[in-house]
Structure 1
Amino acid sequence: MLVVRSALVLLAILGGGAGGRSGDDDGDLDHAVKMRAVVLADAGVTPNPVLDRLVDGDVLDVSVTDGVPDARGTVRQCIRTVDGVGSCANVFPVQFGDRGDARFQYRLVDTGRCGPAASCVLVIDDAAGTRRAVAHTVFGGPAPQAPVVMIRPARPVEEGDEVRVIIGALTPRAVVQVGYCSPGCAAFNRVVADPLGLATTSVLIGADCARCGIAVIGGAYDSLTAVPFAPPPQPGYDASRLTVGLLVGAALLVAAWRIVAAVDWSPPSEAATPDLDAAEL
Protein backbone atom coordinates (compact mmCIF):
# COMPACT_ATOMS: atom_id res chain seq x y z
CA MET A 1 0.00 0.00 0.00
CA LEU A 2 1.27 3.47 -0.77
CA VAL A 3 -0.12 6.44 1.12
CA VAL A 4 0.51 9.89 -0.34
CA ARG A 5 -0.36 13.17 1.38
CA SER A 6 0.80 16.74 0.89
CA ALA A 7 4.42 16.87 2.01
CA LEU A 8 4.66 13.13 2.80
CA VAL A 9 5.45 9.89 1.09
CA LEU A 10 5.75 6.44 2.68
CA LEU A 11 7.84 3.76 1.09
CA ALA A 12 6.12 0.57 2.25
CA ILE A 13 6.24 -3.04 1.22
CA LEU A 14 2.92 -4.73 0.59
CA GLY A 15 2.16 -7.76 2.68
CA GLY A 16 4.95 -6.96 5.17
CA GLY A 17 5.08 -4.49 8.04
CA ALA A 18 3.06 -1.83 6.23
CA GLY A 19 -0.48 -2.41 5.08
CA GLY A 20 -3.88 -3.49 6.32
CA ARG A 21 -4.60 -6.54 8.44
CA SER A 22 -4.52 -9.76 6.45
CA GLY A 23 -7.96 -10.51 5.06
CA ASP A 24 -9.34 -7.00 5.68
CA ASP A 25 -10.43 -5.76 2.28
CA ASP A 26 -11.76 -2.50 3.70
CA GLY A 27 -8.37 -1.53 5.17
CA ASP A 28 -9.69 -1.10 8.72
CA LEU A 29 -7.05 0.10 11.19
CA ASP A 30 -6.71 -1.14 14.76
CA HIS A 31 -4.94 1.82 16.38
CA ALA A 32 -4.03 5.41 15.57
CA VAL A 33 -0.95 6.99 17.13
CA LYS A 34 0.45 10.51 16.87
CA MET A 35 4.16 10.81 17.52
CA ARG A 36 6.55 13.74 17.73
CA ALA A 37 10.20 13.43 16.79
CA VAL A 38 12.74 15.02 19.15
CA VAL A 39 16.50 15.43 19.15
CA LEU A 40 18.02 12.00 19.66
CA ALA A 41 19.62 12.97 23.00
CA ASP A 42 16.15 13.82 24.39
CA ALA A 43 14.37 10.71 23.11
CA GLY A 44 15.18 8.70 26.22
CA VAL A 45 13.49 10.98 28.73
CA THR A 46 10.64 12.49 26.74
CA PRO A 47 7.07 11.38 27.61
CA ASN A 48 5.89 9.10 24.83
CA PRO A 49 2.49 7.66 23.82
CA VAL A 50 1.60 4.18 25.05
CA LEU A 51 -0.18 1.58 22.90
CA ASP A 52 -1.50 -1.37 24.88
CA ARG A 53 -3.75 -4.42 24.40
CA LEU A 54 -1.95 -5.11 21.14
CA VAL A 55 -2.05 -8.43 19.29
CA ASP A 56 0.04 -9.86 16.51
CA GLY A 57 -0.95 -8.34 13.15
CA ASP A 58 -2.50 -5.14 14.51
CA VAL A 59 -2.25 -2.31 11.99
CA LEU A 60 -1.31 1.17 13.17
CA ASP A 61 -2.19 4.49 11.56
CA VAL A 62 1.01 6.39 12.42
CA SER A 63 1.43 10.17 12.21
CA VAL A 64 4.84 11.72 12.88
CA THR A 65 5.69 15.42 13.17
CA ASP A 66 8.88 17.45 13.74
CA GLY A 67 11.10 15.04 11.82
CA VAL A 68 13.94 16.04 9.50
CA PRO A 69 12.44 17.54 6.31
CA ASP A 70 12.81 15.36 3.21
CA ALA A 71 14.83 12.76 5.12
CA ARG A 72 14.75 9.02 4.62
CA GLY A 73 14.32 6.92 7.71
CA THR A 74 12.95 3.70 9.15
CA VAL A 75 10.18 2.41 11.39
CA ARG A 76 10.88 -0.61 13.59
CA GLN A 77 9.93 -2.45 16.77
CA CYS A 78 12.64 -2.51 19.44
CA ILE A 79 13.35 -3.23 23.08
CA ARG A 80 14.07 -0.19 25.22
CA THR A 81 17.56 -0.11 26.74
CA VAL A 82 19.53 2.36 28.84
CA ASP A 83 21.62 3.32 25.82
CA GLY A 84 18.59 3.71 23.56
CA VAL A 85 17.04 0.75 21.76
CA GLY A 86 18.16 -2.72 20.73
CA SER A 87 17.02 -6.07 19.31
CA CYS A 88 15.00 -4.28 16.62
CA ALA A 89 12.82 -6.16 14.14
CA ASN A 90 10.09 -5.58 11.54
CA VAL A 91 12.07 -2.76 9.91
CA PHE A 92 10.62 -0.78 6.99
CA PRO A 93 11.61 2.45 5.22
CA VAL A 94 9.89 5.80 5.81
CA GLN A 95 10.17 9.02 3.80
CA PHE A 96 9.61 12.33 5.61
CA GLY A 97 7.97 15.23 3.80
CA ASP A 98 9.26 18.76 3.29
CA ARG A 99 7.79 19.80 6.66
CA GLY A 100 9.34 16.90 8.53
CA ASP A 101 6.07 14.96 8.82
CA ALA A 102 5.03 11.47 7.75
CA ARG A 103 1.91 9.34 7.89
CA PHE A 104 1.68 5.67 7.12
CA GLN A 105 0.21 2.31 8.06
CA TYR A 106 2.33 -0.25 9.88
CA ARG A 107 1.59 -3.85 10.81
CA LEU A 108 2.89 -4.96 14.21
CA VAL A 109 4.55 -8.29 14.96
CA ASP A 110 4.31 -9.90 18.39
CA THR A 111 7.82 -11.08 19.22
CA GLY A 112 6.68 -12.72 22.46
CA ARG A 113 8.88 -10.42 24.54
CA CYS A 114 6.67 -7.33 24.82
CA GLY A 115 4.08 -8.07 27.49
CA PRO A 116 2.93 -5.65 30.21
CA ALA A 117 6.13 -6.12 32.26
CA ALA A 118 8.48 -5.56 29.29
CA SER A 119 9.87 -2.37 27.81
CA CYS A 120 9.17 -2.38 24.08
CA VAL A 121 8.90 0.58 21.74
CA LEU A 122 7.98 1.57 18.21
CA VAL A 123 10.84 3.70 16.85
CA ILE A 124 10.84 6.07 13.88
CA ASP A 125 13.93 8.08 13.02
CA ASP A 126 15.89 9.45 10.08
CA ALA A 127 18.85 7.64 8.56
CA ALA A 128 21.33 10.10 10.07
CA GLY A 129 19.99 9.52 13.58
CA THR A 130 19.24 13.21 14.10
CA ARG A 131 15.70 13.02 15.45
CA ARG A 132 13.61 10.16 16.82
CA ALA A 133 9.96 9.48 17.65
CA VAL A 134 9.09 6.73 20.14
CA ALA A 135 5.88 5.04 21.31
CA HIS A 136 5.68 2.28 23.92
CA THR A 137 4.01 -0.97 22.85
CA VAL A 138 2.34 -3.47 25.18
CA PHE A 139 1.07 -6.79 23.81
CA GLY A 140 -1.46 -9.10 25.40
CA GLY A 141 -2.94 -6.80 28.03
CA PRO A 142 -3.28 -3.31 29.44
CA ALA A 143 -0.26 -1.17 30.21
CA PRO A 144 0.61 -0.95 33.91
CA GLN A 145 0.15 2.38 35.61
CA ALA A 146 2.96 4.90 35.54
CA PRO A 147 5.49 4.38 38.34
CA VAL A 148 5.57 6.68 41.35
CA VAL A 149 9.04 8.09 42.08
CA MET A 150 10.04 9.43 45.49
CA ILE A 151 13.40 10.90 46.51
CA ARG A 152 14.74 10.70 50.06
CA PRO A 153 15.74 12.75 51.92
CA ALA A 154 13.08 15.17 50.69
CA ARG A 155 15.21 18.30 50.81
CA PRO A 156 17.29 20.41 48.42
CA VAL A 157 20.47 18.69 47.32
CA GLU A 158 23.87 19.66 45.98
CA GLU A 159 26.05 18.15 43.29
CA GLY A 160 27.78 15.07 44.66
CA ASP A 161 25.04 14.18 47.15
CA GLU A 162 23.71 10.63 47.25
CA VAL A 163 19.96 10.19 47.49
CA ARG A 164 17.69 7.21 47.90
CA VAL A 165 15.18 6.68 45.09
CA ILE A 166 12.00 4.73 45.81
CA ILE A 167 9.91 3.59 42.83
CA GLY A 168 6.39 2.35 43.52
CA ALA A 169 3.43 1.05 41.48
CA LEU A 170 5.67 -1.17 39.36
CA THR A 171 4.67 -4.53 37.98
CA PRO A 172 6.02 -7.20 40.37
CA ARG A 173 9.44 -8.44 39.24
CA ALA A 174 9.65 -5.69 36.62
CA VAL A 175 13.18 -4.53 35.78
CA VAL A 176 13.90 -0.80 35.62
CA GLN A 177 17.03 1.30 35.16
CA VAL A 178 17.52 4.29 37.46
CA GLY A 179 20.11 7.06 37.11
CA TYR A 180 20.78 10.79 37.11
CA CYS A 181 20.64 12.60 33.76
CA SER A 182 22.30 16.00 33.35
CA PRO A 183 20.95 15.96 30.64
CA GLY A 184 22.93 13.01 29.28
CA CYS A 185 22.44 9.80 31.24
CA ALA A 186 25.70 8.12 32.21
CA ALA A 187 25.57 5.54 35.03
CA PHE A 188 22.38 3.57 35.68
CA ASN A 189 21.45 1.12 38.40
CA ARG A 190 19.46 -1.97 37.43
CA VAL A 191 16.80 -2.78 40.01
CA VAL A 192 14.04 -5.39 40.19
CA ALA A 193 10.66 -4.67 41.75
CA ASP A 194 9.63 -6.83 44.69
CA PRO A 195 6.32 -8.76 44.79
CA LEU A 196 4.58 -5.57 45.95
CA GLY A 197 5.87 -3.60 42.96
CA LEU A 198 8.41 -1.58 44.96
CA ALA A 199 12.06 -0.96 44.08
CA THR A 200 14.75 1.14 45.78
CA THR A 201 18.26 2.22 44.85
CA SER A 202 20.79 4.98 45.52
CA VAL A 203 21.70 7.63 42.95
CA LEU A 204 24.59 10.10 42.91
CA ILE A 205 23.44 13.63 42.03
CA GLY A 206 25.27 15.34 39.18
CA ALA A 207 25.30 18.91 37.93
CA ASP A 208 22.18 21.06 37.97
CA CYS A 209 20.55 22.12 34.70
CA ALA A 210 17.13 22.92 33.24
CA ARG A 211 16.48 19.35 31.99
CA CYS A 212 18.30 17.41 34.69
CA GLY A 213 16.70 14.85 36.97
CA ILE A 214 16.45 11.21 38.01
CA ALA A 215 15.38 9.00 35.13
CA VAL A 216 13.48 5.74 35.55
CA ILE A 217 13.53 3.67 32.36
CA GLY A 218 11.59 0.45 32.00
CA GLY A 219 8.13 -0.93 31.44
CA ALA A 220 5.64 1.10 29.45
CA TYR A 221 6.79 4.45 30.83
CA ASP A 222 10.01 6.46 31.00
CA SER A 223 10.02 9.20 33.63
CA LEU A 224 12.31 12.08 34.56
CA THR A 225 11.84 13.44 38.08
CA ALA A 226 13.25 16.89 38.78
CA VAL A 227 15.54 17.22 41.79
CA PRO A 228 15.36 20.37 43.97
CA PHE A 229 18.80 21.92 44.28
CA ALA A 230 19.94 24.04 47.22
CA PRO A 231 20.44 27.71 46.28
CA PRO A 232 24.06 28.82 45.80
CA PRO A 233 25.77 30.13 48.95
CA GLN A 234 25.20 33.79 49.71
CA PRO A 235 27.92 36.15 51.04
CA GLY A 236 28.11 36.01 54.82
CA TYR A 237 29.50 38.41 57.43
CA ASP A 238 31.28 37.66 60.70
CA ALA A 239 29.76 39.96 63.35
CA SER A 240 32.97 40.40 65.37
CA ARG A 241 35.10 41.16 62.32
CA LEU A 242 32.45 43.55 61.01
CA THR A 243 32.42 45.40 64.37
CA VAL A 244 36.21 45.72 64.40
CA GLY A 245 36.19 47.01 60.83
CA LEU A 246 33.57 49.63 61.66
CA LEU A 247 35.53 50.81 64.71
CA VAL A 248 38.76 51.08 62.72
CA GLY A 249 36.96 52.99 59.99
CA ALA A 250 35.47 55.38 62.55
CA ALA A 251 38.89 55.96 64.15
CA LEU A 252 40.42 56.80 60.77
CA LEU A 253 37.63 59.26 60.07
CA VAL A 254 38.22 60.97 63.44
CA ALA A 255 41.97 61.15 62.76
CA ALA A 256 41.40 62.63 59.32
CA TRP A 257 39.01 65.22 60.77
CA ARG A 258 41.54 66.25 63.41
CA ILE A 259 44.25 66.66 60.79
CA VAL A 260 41.98 68.79 58.66
CA ALA A 261 41.02 70.93 61.67
CA ALA A 262 44.61 71.40 62.98
CA VAL A 263 46.33 72.41 59.74
CA ASP A 264 46.21 76.05 58.59
CA TRP A 265 45.14 75.76 54.98
CA SER A 266 45.16 79.57 54.23
CA PRO A 267 47.68 80.80 51.56
CA PRO A 268 50.89 82.55 52.91
CA SER A 269 51.25 86.38 52.72
CA GLU A 270 53.93 88.15 50.66
CA ALA A 271 55.77 89.19 53.83
CA ALA A 272 56.07 85.55 54.83
CA THR A 273 57.77 84.59 51.53
CA PRO A 274 60.56 87.18 50.78
CA ASP A 275 62.75 84.63 48.97
CA LEU A 276 59.95 83.81 46.55
CA ASP A 277 59.47 87.54 45.82
CA ALA A 278 63.19 88.03 45.07
CA ALA A 279 63.47 85.04 42.82
CA GLU A 280 63.78 85.65 39.09
CA LEU A 281 61.33 83.46 37.22
Structure 2
Amino acid sequence: MSKNVIITGGGSGIGAAISRIFLDKGHIVFMLERNVESTREAFSEYTEDKLHIFPCDVSDQARVVQIIDDIAASATIDVLINNAGISHIGTVETTSEEDMDKLFAVNVKGVYNCIHAAIPHMKKSGGGAILNMASIASHVGIADRFAYSMTKGAVLAMTYSVAKDYVADGIRCNSISPARVHTPFVDGFLAKNYPGQEKEMYDKLSKTQPIGRMARPDEVAKLAYFLCSDDAAFTTGTDYPLDGGFIKLNS
Protein backbone atom coordinates (compact mmCIF):
# COMPACT_ATOMS: atom_id res chain seq x y z
CA MET A 1 0.00 0.00 0.00
CA SER A 2 1.31 3.45 -0.90
CA LYS A 3 2.41 5.62 2.03
CA ASN A 4 2.75 9.38 2.36
CA VAL A 5 6.31 10.14 3.39
CA ILE A 6 7.75 13.45 4.61
CA ILE A 7 11.53 13.71 4.19
CA THR A 8 13.60 16.70 5.27
CA GLY A 9 16.75 17.50 3.33
CA GLY A 10 15.77 14.94 0.73
CA GLY A 11 17.39 16.59 -2.25
CA SER A 12 20.99 15.41 -1.96
CA GLY A 13 23.29 12.86 -0.37
CA ILE A 14 21.67 10.37 1.99
CA GLY A 15 18.35 12.21 1.78
CA ALA A 16 18.24 11.84 -2.00
CA ALA A 17 18.89 8.11 -1.76
CA ILE A 18 16.10 7.76 0.79
CA SER A 19 13.73 9.84 -1.34
CA ARG A 20 14.44 7.74 -4.41
CA ILE A 21 13.88 4.38 -2.75
CA PHE A 22 10.45 5.47 -1.53
CA LEU A 23 9.53 6.99 -4.90
CA ASP A 24 10.74 3.97 -6.84
CA LYS A 25 8.64 1.67 -4.65
CA GLY A 26 5.49 3.66 -5.40
CA HIS A 27 5.15 5.88 -2.35
CA ILE A 28 4.36 9.60 -2.34
CA VAL A 29 7.13 11.86 -1.07
CA PHE A 30 6.72 15.30 0.46
CA MET A 31 10.17 16.85 0.57
CA LEU A 32 11.13 19.78 2.82
CA GLU A 33 14.21 21.20 1.13
CA ARG A 34 16.15 24.47 1.02
CA ASN A 35 17.64 23.93 -2.44
CA VAL A 36 14.43 23.66 -4.43
CA GLU A 37 15.62 24.33 -7.99
CA SER A 38 18.56 21.93 -7.92
CA THR A 39 16.34 19.31 -6.31
CA ARG A 40 13.70 19.67 -9.03
CA GLU A 41 16.40 19.15 -11.65
CA ALA A 42 17.83 16.13 -9.87
CA PHE A 43 14.38 14.52 -9.53
CA SER A 44 12.94 15.61 -12.86
CA GLU A 45 11.94 12.05 -13.81
CA TYR A 46 9.27 11.96 -11.09
CA THR A 47 5.82 13.44 -11.66
CA GLU A 48 4.38 16.18 -9.47
CA ASP A 49 1.67 13.88 -8.14
CA LYS A 50 4.36 11.59 -6.67
CA LEU A 51 6.95 14.13 -5.50
CA HIS A 52 6.02 17.37 -3.77
CA ILE A 53 8.85 19.77 -2.93
CA PHE A 54 8.37 22.51 -0.37
CA PRO A 55 10.96 25.26 0.17
CA CYS A 56 11.72 25.07 3.88
CA ASP A 57 14.33 25.81 6.51
CA VAL A 58 13.52 23.25 9.21
CA SER A 59 14.71 25.62 11.93
CA ASP A 60 11.69 27.86 11.16
CA GLN A 61 8.90 26.35 13.25
CA ALA A 62 6.09 28.44 11.79
CA ARG A 63 7.04 27.37 8.26
CA VAL A 64 7.37 23.70 9.24
CA VAL A 65 3.98 23.69 10.97
CA GLN A 66 2.34 25.41 8.01
CA ILE A 67 3.70 22.87 5.51
CA ILE A 68 2.88 19.81 7.59
CA ASP A 69 -0.61 21.09 8.38
CA ASP A 70 -1.17 21.72 4.67
CA ILE A 71 -0.03 18.19 3.81
CA ALA A 72 -2.24 16.70 6.51
CA ALA A 73 -5.26 18.58 5.20
CA SER A 74 -5.41 16.30 2.17
CA ALA A 75 -3.32 13.25 3.10
CA THR A 76 -2.42 11.09 6.07
CA ILE A 77 1.14 11.45 7.33
CA ASP A 78 2.37 7.88 7.46
CA VAL A 79 6.13 8.43 7.69
CA LEU A 80 8.37 11.29 8.84
CA ILE A 81 12.10 11.08 8.14
CA ASN A 82 14.23 13.74 9.82
CA ASN A 83 17.31 13.76 7.62
CA ALA A 84 18.17 17.45 7.24
CA GLY A 85 21.33 18.41 9.08
CA ILE A 86 24.57 20.34 8.91
CA SER A 87 28.08 19.48 9.99
CA HIS A 88 30.78 21.38 11.85
CA ILE A 89 34.43 20.85 12.67
CA GLY A 90 35.84 22.18 15.92
CA THR A 91 36.52 21.70 19.61
CA VAL A 92 34.69 23.54 22.38
CA GLU A 93 37.36 26.24 22.20
CA THR A 94 37.07 26.81 18.47
CA THR A 95 33.27 26.60 18.35
CA SER A 96 31.79 30.08 18.37
CA GLU A 97 28.41 30.97 19.83
CA GLU A 98 27.20 31.57 16.27
CA ASP A 99 28.35 28.08 15.25
CA MET A 100 26.65 26.51 18.25
CA ASP A 101 23.37 28.34 17.66
CA LYS A 102 23.35 27.39 13.96
CA LEU A 103 24.03 23.70 14.63
CA PHE A 104 21.40 23.58 17.35
CA ALA A 105 18.80 25.38 15.21
CA VAL A 106 19.03 22.91 12.32
CA ASN A 107 20.10 19.60 13.85
CA VAL A 108 18.13 19.73 17.10
CA LYS A 109 15.36 22.29 16.79
CA GLY A 110 14.72 21.23 13.19
CA VAL A 111 14.05 17.65 14.28
CA TYR A 112 11.89 18.84 17.17
CA ASN A 113 9.93 21.18 14.87
CA CYS A 114 9.01 18.40 12.46
CA ILE A 115 8.08 15.87 15.13
CA HIS A 116 6.13 18.51 17.06
CA ALA A 117 4.12 19.33 13.93
CA ALA A 118 3.60 15.76 12.72
CA ILE A 119 2.70 13.92 15.93
CA PRO A 120 -0.84 15.33 16.32
CA HIS A 121 -1.71 14.30 12.77
CA MET A 122 -0.24 10.82 13.24
CA LYS A 123 -2.23 10.38 16.47
CA LYS A 124 -5.42 11.41 14.71
CA SER A 125 -4.89 8.92 11.86
CA GLY A 126 -3.97 6.02 14.12
CA GLY A 127 -0.18 5.96 14.04
CA GLY A 128 2.88 6.25 11.86
CA ALA A 129 6.64 5.84 11.70
CA ILE A 130 9.28 8.42 12.55
CA LEU A 131 12.92 7.95 11.63
CA ASN A 132 15.68 10.29 12.81
CA MET A 133 19.17 10.49 11.37
CA ALA A 134 21.57 10.28 14.30
CA SER A 135 25.28 9.47 13.98
CA ILE A 136 28.11 7.42 15.41
CA ALA A 137 28.90 10.75 17.11
CA SER A 138 25.79 10.10 19.21
CA HIS A 139 27.64 7.19 20.81
CA VAL A 140 31.39 7.79 20.83
CA GLY A 141 33.77 10.72 21.09
CA ILE A 142 35.06 11.95 17.74
CA ALA A 143 37.87 14.50 17.62
CA ASP A 144 36.99 18.04 16.51
CA ARG A 145 33.25 17.42 16.39
CA PHE A 146 32.10 19.10 19.63
CA ALA A 147 28.96 20.91 18.44
CA TYR A 148 28.01 18.28 15.88
CA SER A 149 28.29 15.50 18.49
CA MET A 150 26.15 17.52 20.89
CA THR A 151 23.37 17.81 18.33
CA LYS A 152 23.44 14.15 17.34
CA GLY A 153 23.38 13.08 20.98
CA ALA A 154 20.21 15.14 21.30
CA VAL A 155 18.69 13.44 18.25
CA LEU A 156 19.29 10.04 19.83
CA ALA A 157 17.69 11.14 23.10
CA MET A 158 14.69 12.56 21.23
CA THR A 159 14.28 9.24 19.46
CA TYR A 160 14.01 7.32 22.71
CA SER A 161 11.72 9.91 24.31
CA VAL A 162 9.26 10.06 21.40
CA ALA A 163 9.17 6.27 21.12
CA LYS A 164 8.31 5.99 24.83
CA ASP A 165 5.69 8.74 24.87
CA TYR A 166 3.74 7.65 21.79
CA VAL A 167 3.99 3.86 21.63
CA ALA A 168 0.36 3.59 22.80
CA ASP A 169 -0.68 5.84 19.90
CA GLY A 170 0.73 3.44 17.33
CA ILE A 171 3.65 5.76 16.53
CA ARG A 172 7.04 4.12 16.15
CA CYS A 173 10.27 6.13 16.40
CA ASN A 174 13.73 4.81 15.53
CA SER A 175 17.04 6.24 14.39
CA ILE A 176 20.03 5.34 12.25
CA SER A 177 23.59 6.18 13.28
CA PRO A 178 25.78 6.15 10.17
CA ALA A 179 29.54 6.32 10.17
CA ARG A 180 31.13 8.09 7.20
CA VAL A 181 29.03 7.90 4.07
CA HIS A 182 30.44 8.73 0.63
CA THR A 183 28.34 11.67 -0.51
CA PRO A 184 29.08 14.79 -2.57
CA PHE A 185 29.60 16.55 0.77
CA VAL A 186 32.62 14.34 1.46
CA ASP A 187 34.10 15.02 -1.96
CA GLY A 188 33.59 18.76 -1.52
CA PHE A 189 35.14 18.69 1.95
CA LEU A 190 38.23 16.90 0.67
CA ALA A 191 38.60 19.20 -2.34
CA LYS A 192 38.35 22.29 -0.14
CA ASN A 193 40.58 21.17 2.73
CA TYR A 194 43.05 18.80 1.06
CA PRO A 195 43.59 19.99 -2.53
CA GLY A 196 45.84 17.59 -4.35
CA GLN A 197 45.55 15.03 -1.56
CA GLU A 198 41.94 14.01 -2.09
CA LYS A 199 42.58 10.33 -2.81
CA GLU A 200 45.05 9.94 0.03
CA MET A 201 42.69 11.53 2.54
CA TYR A 202 39.68 9.64 1.18
CA ASP A 203 41.50 6.36 1.73
CA LYS A 204 42.52 7.45 5.22
CA LEU A 205 38.95 8.36 6.18
CA SER A 206 37.64 5.13 4.65
CA LYS A 207 39.97 3.05 6.78
CA THR A 208 38.61 4.51 10.03
CA GLN A 209 35.74 2.07 9.51
CA PRO A 210 37.02 -1.45 10.36
CA ILE A 211 35.21 -2.78 7.29
CA GLY A 212 37.64 -0.67 5.23
CA ARG A 213 35.35 1.68 3.31
CA MET A 214 32.68 4.33 3.66
CA ALA A 215 29.01 3.45 3.43
CA ARG A 216 27.05 4.15 0.27
CA PRO A 217 23.95 6.37 0.48
CA ASP A 218 21.81 3.55 -0.90
CA GLU A 219 22.85 1.33 2.02
CA VAL A 220 21.49 3.88 4.47
CA ALA A 221 18.37 4.27 2.33
CA LYS A 222 17.63 0.54 2.36
CA LEU A 223 17.78 0.43 6.15
CA ALA A 224 15.64 3.58 6.36
CA TYR A 225 13.04 2.02 4.08
CA PHE A 226 12.85 -1.12 6.17
CA LEU A 227 12.49 0.76 9.46
CA CYS A 228 9.60 2.81 8.07
CA SER A 229 7.85 -0.16 6.48
CA ASP A 230 5.21 -2.48 7.88
CA ASP A 231 7.89 -5.19 8.04
CA ALA A 232 9.35 -3.28 11.00
CA ALA A 233 6.01 -2.96 12.80
CA PHE A 234 7.48 -4.50 15.98
CA THR A 235 10.46 -2.13 16.06
CA THR A 236 10.52 1.09 18.04
CA GLY A 237 12.80 3.01 20.39
CA THR A 238 15.92 1.61 18.78
CA ASP A 239 19.02 3.11 17.18
CA TYR A 240 20.71 1.24 14.34
CA PRO A 241 24.43 1.88 13.87
CA LEU A 242 25.31 1.56 10.20
CA ASP A 243 29.01 2.01 10.79
CA GLY A 244 31.16 -0.73 9.29
CA GLY A 245 32.05 -1.83 12.82
CA PHE A 246 33.22 1.63 13.96
CA ILE A 247 31.55 1.76 17.38
CA LYS A 248 32.22 -1.77 18.64
CA LEU A 249 35.38 -2.78 16.79
CA ASN A 250 37.32 0.43 17.45
CA SER A 251 36.74 0.31 21.20
User: Relative CO higher for 1 or 2, CA cutoff 8 Å, sep ≥ 6?
Assistant: 2
- More strand as a share of residues: 1
* Higher share in helix: 2
Q: TM-score, normalised by structure 1?
A: 0.21
Point out the structure with max Rg over C-alpha. 1
